[in-house]
Structure 1
Amino acid sequence: MASHTINGLSVKPILGDFGAEVSGVDWTQVPLPEDLIRTLIRIQDKYAVLIFRDTGLDNERHVAFSAQLGRLEVNPAWGGSERVGTPYLFDVSNIESDGSLVKKDTRRWHHALGNALWHTDSSFNQHRSKYSLLLAHAVPGTGQGNTEFADTRRAWKDIPAVEKPKLRGLVVEHELWHSRKLASPEEYEELTSEERNVKPPSYHRLVQQGSSGHETFFLAAHAKALFDDDGKRLADSQKMVWDLIAHCTQTKYTFTAEWISAGTLMWWDNRQSMHRASPYTEKMGARDLRRSTVIDDGPFAFGMPPKNCKSSN
């Protein structure tokens, strides 16, 4: 698909109608004019992942722009707001509060390993997120710390028609600690009391309607169990989950986005995509990324009531 212009913005598609680099926004204007916000949301609805280069954004304008898109999620205890200085930004970096790099085999290092699994942000919250906006303040170098994205809309479209009715009826139990245990089973064999109490599971339909109007998978490595309409847990839940993730993350549905320089902003719709980060390495330089998260305000925002689903604990 060729580059094109929408209301003065240049749009360069990446993988058909999934992902696009957008230029022409004057980020010094933040908060942006409402007509420009409407245009950006229109582009976002179509492409699900937008990339902006050389934005020059700082924390204040990053948060201000994000707040124009909806109510912001407040940073939880593990999100690192102490270093970045605001509760509205998650510290998605390999940098400690004293400026040193995160050391291998610390709790934070192991927690970050979960980010290298395919996921959607905050699917483990009963009130799920809509958008994530991740801004680079420092990048570690070419080929390090990239982010991959998967198109869950097209992946759903390509599912055989005979399989779709069953999948539409399934509810997914999402739990943060499930993905952390998958990524680092020994470290997360036992949870701290704070971890155990802070994040109960959430329940969301596996198949939903995205903002583009098309059906899409809502899936993540946080997916711990699948339930049918009667609330019965499927015995082969994990196999089904990872078979579906494998389907959604085939090469034809994915692309890799490079954090070329500070100022790069990636804005994705968690309801229409999955993503994963490159894992930390001991040779990686400073990777200072900060993420704002916009809470979903759509009809599926609060997921499913868990009353009919027996937790898989």
Structure 2
Amino acid sequence: MSLQIAKLHPLFGGGVTNVDLSKPISQDRIAAIQAALDHYAVLIFHGPKLTEEDQIAFAERFGPLEGQNGVLSTNATRISRKLVDISNLDEKNSVLSAQDRRRMFALGNQLWHTDSSFKRTPAKYSLLHAHTVTPEGGETQFVDTRAAYDALPEKMKARIETLEAEHSIFVSRGKLGFTAFSDEERQANPPVHRRIVRVHPGSGRKALYLASHASHIVGLPVPEGRMLIHELMEHA
């Protein structure tokens, strides 16, 4: 049976209605999901609530998991270390205090970003599971940076074709005033360089590779590079 996908936006995004992620999924169905991701970029799966084991089993069909090899040096966790907890709860399921480093760090997720662009190995996919949806706030938004690239003037495309940006998790957190990282945490997460224009392997389309983690453009004066990053992100 083919995937049943409802288009959610004129340019990207699809809602899948006939896949139950809590049950075993054939390799043919996984291949169909990958093809749909290449086309739609974002898929929303409707179905029963998943256990941690369900989410891990599904995610591992697409490759090795990044897991909690994060930035903050803490071993406290309320979920499997194969998953990343982006909630506002601590290891005892209590709401994090306003001064908790984990809460202050997580605030950076509210900025526009590309997941793990600052890591040595960037993420290929992100699989989010909402256990509890709040009545207001907490929305997650997505943008198709392939469409954003397509909409650029040809002159801008030529200008940025070979440029690289330096990415660091400490840049995005610093924008919100959180700079209290230890030397060990900083040394464990050195900055990386990423091409601003990348070819999406599944669709073959060029895409902008941007994030609030991006500090500056390699080889350009810092003010000029940062203004360019800002311009491209606003465009996207």
TM-score (norm 1): 0.71
* Structure 1 stretch displaced more, 217-226 or 79-88: 79-88
- Tell me if the contact between 1:75 and 1:81 (Cα under 8 Å) persists in the aligned partners: no
Q: Which structure 1 segments of 5+ residues have no match?
A: 1-6, 249-313
1:156 aligns with 2:129: no
Give the AA of the match of 1:69: F
Matched, 1:112 2:106: yes
* Corresponding residue of 1:234: 221
Q: Which of 171, 174, 179 in structure 1 is aligned with 2:172?
A: 179
Task: State the match for 1:44 in structure 2.
Answer: 37
Q: Secondary structure at the match of 1:225?
A: strand
* Aligned-partner Cα distance in 2 for 1:212–1:69: 17
Alignment pair present for 1:221 and 2:212: yes
CA distance in structure 1 between the partners assigned to 2:11 and 2:27 by the alignment: 24
Q: 2:108 corresponds to which letter in structure 1?
A: G
Q: 1:29 aligns with which of 23, 40, 46?
A: 23
Q: TM-score, normalised by structure 2?
A: 0.92
Match for residue 199 of structure 1? 189
Deviation at 1:12, TM superposition (A): 1.0
| 1:62 is aligned to 2:49 | no
**Larger relative contact order, structure 1 or 2 (CA cutoff 8 Å, min sep 6):** 1
* 7-16 or 37-46: bigger deviation: 7-16
CA distance in 1, matches of 2:93, 2:107: 20
Task: Give 1 or 2: higher strand fraction.
Answer: 1
Letter in 2 for 1:237: G
Task: Indicate if the aligned counterparts of 1:79 and 1:91 stay in contact, CA closer than 8 A.
Answer: no
Q: What residue is the counterpart of 1:99 in the other structure? A: 93
State the aligned residue count.
233
Picking from 244, 252, 262, the partner of 2:232 is 244
In structure 2, list runs of 5 or more residues that go unmatched.
none
TM-superposition CA deviations, 1:142-174 (whole Å, max 9, x none): x32110111111110011112212201101110
Percent identical: 33
Aligned-pair CA distance for 1:65: 0.7
AA aligned to 1:182 is K
Deviations 1:167-220 (A, max 9, x none): 01101110000000012x2x31x4222322221011111001112111000110
- Greater shift in the superposed pair: 12-21 or 43-52: 12-21
Per the TM alignment, residue 81 of structure 1 is displaced from its structure 2 partner at its CA by: 7.1
CA distance in 2, matches of 1:204, 1:21: 31
How many angstroms apart in 2 are the aligned matches of 1:81 and 1:70?
A: 24
Q: Distance in 2 between matches of 1:201 and 1:177?
A: 9
RMSD of the TM alignment (CA)? 1.7
What whole-Å deviation, never above 9, does each CA across 1:229-278 have from its counterpart, x for those lacking one?
Answer: xxx23331111111111000xxxxxxxxxxxxxxxxxxxxxxxxxxxxxx
1: distance between equivalents of 2:92 and 2:115? 26
State the shift of 1:136 in Å: 1.6
Equivalent-residue separation in structure 2 for 1:246 and 1:214 (angstroms): 20
